[in-house]
Amino acid sequence: MKKMNLKKGFTLIELLVVIAIIGILASVVLASLNSARTKGKDASAKTSITSVRAQSEIFYNGSVGNNSYGTVGAGDATTHNNSCTDAQTLTLFTAANTQTGHTSACEVGVSGATYAAAVQLNDLTFFCVDSSGFAGPGIGDATTHVPTFNTSSGGVTGAISCI
């Protein structure tokens, strides 16, 4: 009678190959998750900056704004009372800054008739909203992370807009 030699299990080489394949797949998944996380942060920052538009309109129509976005200038709460320095707007800027790691910018134009707000996103592009209803790509200095605004929109000197 023949003796049957039935070995059950995997060889060391087979196990190492499977572990290597799992490691490669895991690294691909982790790289994809990091990209998705960054895109999610940018989406959150865009939502916060877009909400600035609604908050600015509330300021404009409220008793504080009285049909104005406030005093001309950038959002410095100590020297300007405008939609950029409104408490709810500052909360939205803080949320956008937290998601991007960059500082938001906001400015009100001459006579308080216009405003623009922007932030640099994680992909180093800028996102901007303004009083004309525009919400989209903005301009700025990617090195200093500072958004810039068009200061002569529509031929009206001193008006502020994104493009």
List pLDDT tens digits, range 32-89.
888 889 999 999 999 999 999 999 999 888 877 678 888 776 554 455 678 888 889 9
Instruction: Name the DSSP class of 47.
Output: H
Sheet containing 73-74: which strands, arranged edge to edge? 73-74, 105-108, 115-120, 126-130, 135-141, 146-148
Torsion 74-80-84-90 (CA) sign: positive
Q: Average pLDDT, stretch 6-16?
A: 86
**Each residue's pLDDT tens digit, 111-150:** 888 889 999 999 889 999 998 889 999 888 777 777 878 7
The per-residue pLDDT for 18 is: 95
pLDDT band, very low/low/confident/very high, at 6 (cuts 50, 70, 90): low
The per-residue pLDDT for 154 is: 46
> What phi and psi, each to the nearest 5 degrees, are found at residue 26?
-65, -40
Please tell me whether residue 5 adopts helix, strand or coil conformation: coil
| Radius of gyration of the chain, Cα coordinates, nearest whole angstrom | 26
- CB count within 10 Å of CB 139 equals 15
Q: Which position has the token pair 């998601």? A: 99
The per-residue pLDDT for 155 is: 40
The per-residue pLDDT for 153 is: 47
